[in-house]
Structure 1
Amino acid sequence: MVERADMYRGPVRLRGSQMESSTTDQRLLDQRGPSDWVHTDPWRVLRIQAEFVEGFGSLAELGPAIAVFGSARTQADHPHYAQAEECGRKLAEAGFSVITGGGPGTMEAANKGASQAGGVSVGLGIELPFETGLNPWVDKGINFRYFFVRKTMFIKYAQGFIALPGGIGTLDELFEALTLVQTGKKTVFPIVLVGTAYWQGMLDWMRDTMLADGKISPKDLDLVMLTDDVDEAVALMVEARRVREAQGSDQGLEHSEGASS
């Protein structure tokens, strides 16, 4: 049987002559060329709204979850793959669902670890010209057309981020999370970089260049934890969950006391 390449456009799978040379995001952001009614902004708003509704509806009852990021190019025999698989497994054993971008490489490994450990393995896919849908270890998957809708789902339903060595997409998600924590949009939200040899240079640059030039404050560097130990990364997520639950209990008690008075 001949294998044929797939392309996903939201929930739609395209093959052969039906595959397109551009993505929905590209058509939204690129202003070049003619457009018909289905590609105009007012109609796009309805499609964007539908993606938010689908994402919120699918993930609302997910429970505590951690997003795991890393390169789609990581091969199955690479140590980073084994490390991501271990990360997914131990997060599941600690009672977390695991959310990835649903692709191959590191994402596949984290989904595999979570699924094989009996946890909830989630993949949030995106329409890309060079990726072919969700990996086989995703138990609950959603394919998105728009990056910003997908990123909202990561931020809203994850209680922490673990980033293994990755490329531009990993950096995008990492600095999105850092920005939201730094500006107080997300609280009790641990961010862990796994892989000292890979990430140390970036943190050194942030300290020696950004901090030295006054572009960030010293406390901004404390928003990220660097480790080579998956157990340490998972323990930080568990502790953050404990703090969050304690805060929720305190708020509930205050509300109850206020109502009774």
Structure 2
Amino acid sequence: MRGPVVLRGSQLRSKQASTTDQRLLGEQTSTDWLHTDPWRVMRIQSEFVDGFGALAKIPKAITVFGSARVKPDHPYYAKGRELGRCIHEAGYAVITGGGPGLMEAPNRGAHEAGGLSIGLGIELPMEQGLNEWVDLGLHFRYFFVRKTMFLKYSQAFICLPGGFGTLDELFEALVMTQTEKIQRFPIILMGTEFWGGLVEWIRTRLVEEEMISASDPDLFLVTDSPQEAVDFCVRAHRGFVEDLEARRETLIEETEILNQQIDQFRNSNSS
């Protein structure tokens, strides 16, 4: 045994240069160990712990995805800012990737309206800090940890125009919803002209060649109106609550019937 590892046969021929304790307690002449896989596991774990701890008590929230390259004078930016305000007025917090452009715009709209503005940033080759409109911010090293936070703490996903990153986040949400890895949350594409070509390709090519089910395009809504997008989320969540309440009533009725049957069975046995 070398720690938890079992070695046999040819694996025993090489003598271990030092023990784990010796390496831990000995003088460190190099910091290369900071970048080895075992240490990365701990770093990944710490990012999950930090994320869960920081976001566990946030109110219901809607995540907005969008391009970091859009400037504040662009019409898309104004639309994103309006969207942030509408999300707050509907009683939700706003979550974005925390960067500039169409991440900043919803954060700004929510912040200016008095709402909670959350940013989940990511380490990139070109340094990109959190925008100034973020009230609660986290900065991640690993994309997959950040994606988990988006999925875990969001009740809906709205995609403003964007590039590869936005497309990745959109299809991540669609796949997780389609495969029922998460419950069916609203997914909205903001910008009929921008998203039109992609939506048409999905509804024709993918459906016609049976790459997806005919009902899968119903997983998302396309609109130009921030208010319509938010109203769609509100209606979907209201319907979800109503479904749960109806299910609860059914379970109560079934429980009462079962209790009666149990009592009858016990009475018949005792007699």
- Give your verdict on TM over 0.5: yes
Which residue matches 1:190?
A: 186
The answer as to whether partners of 1:102 and 1:122 remain within 8 angstroms in 2 is: yes
The answer as to whether partners of 1:125 and 1:141 remain within 8 angstroms in 2 is: yes
Which residue matches 1:5?
A: none
User: Which fold has the larger relative contact order, with Cα–Cα distance below 8 Å and residues 6 or more apart in sequence?
Assistant: 1
**Matched AA of 2:242:** A
Q: Distance in 1 between matches of 2:108 and 2:79?
A: 12
Q: Distance in 2 between matches of 1:41 and 1:125?
A: 23
Which residue matches 2:35?
A: 39
Percent identical: 57
Match of 1:141 among 119, 137, 141: 137
Shift of 1:254: 6.2
Which residue matches 1:107?
A: 103
Which residue matches 2:265?
A: none
Match of 2:211 among 211, 215, 228: 215
1:130 and 2:118 are equivalent in the alignment: no
Match of 2:228 among 227, 232, 237: 232
Unaligned stretches of 5+ residues in structure 2 = 1-30, 260-271
The TM-score with structure 1 as length reference comes to 0.82
Question: How many pairs are equivalent?
Answer: 227
The answer as to whether partners of 1:103 and 1:131 remain within 8 angstroms in 2 is: no
Q: Distance in 1 between matches of 2:199 and 2:71?
A: 25
The answer as to whether partners of 1:86 and 1:230 remain within 8 angstroms in 2 is: yes
Spell out, residue by residue over 1:14-42, the C-alpha distance to the aligned partner (whole angstroms, 9 max, x if none).
xxxxxxxxxxxxxxxxxxxxx93222222
1:94 and 2:90 are equivalent in the alignment: yes
Shift of 1:204: 1.0
**Matched AA of 1:132:** Q
Q: Distance in 2 between matches of 1:206 and 1:137?
A: 35
The answer as to whether partners of 1:188 and 1:244 remain within 8 angstroms in 2 is: no
Would you identify which runs of 4 or more consecutive aligned residues in structure 1 move more than 3 Å? 247-261
Shift of 1:162: 0.5
The TM-score with structure 2 as length reference comes to 0.79
Which residue matches 1:52?
A: 48
2:126 aligned counterpart, secondary structure: coil
The answer as to whether partners of 1:188 and 1:243 remain within 8 angstroms in 2 is: no
Which residue matches 2:6?
A: none
Shift of 1:248: 4.2
